[in-house]
Amino acid sequence: MVIFPDIPEAITQGEDEDEALLVAIDALETALSIYVDERKLLPVPSVPKNEQKTVSPSALECAKLGLYRAMLEQGIRK
């Protein structure tokens, strides 16, 4: 089972650790897209605890999220 302390909406699981981490990326990206759709502020990632595994959105998704954050900060809309 995979949970995200900073994004409680994102919960997923896999048959083994590798599968769980793979589907975790999709769960993370999906949850963050909900934040964007609802025009919410994106959460700031906390520091991982002892040997805690982490995943990140894809490079393209990170670029989109960075643009979204900059637009929010400047009060710009589409």
pLDDT in tens, 3-57: 999 999 999 999 999 999 999 999 999 999 999 999 999 999 999 988 899 999 9
| Model pLDDT, residue 77 | 83
| Model pLDDT, residue 57 | 95
pTM higher than 0.85: yes
Residues 37, 21: Cα–Cα separation, whole Å = 25
With vertex at residue 35, the alpha carbon angle to CA 27 and CA 49, rounded to the nearest 5 degrees, is 55
Instruction: Return the domain boundaries, the chain.
Output: 2-46+54-74
- Segment 61-70 long-range contacts (CB within 8 Å, at least 24 positions apart): 61/29, 61/32, 64/36, 65/32, 65/36, 68/36, 68/42, 69/42
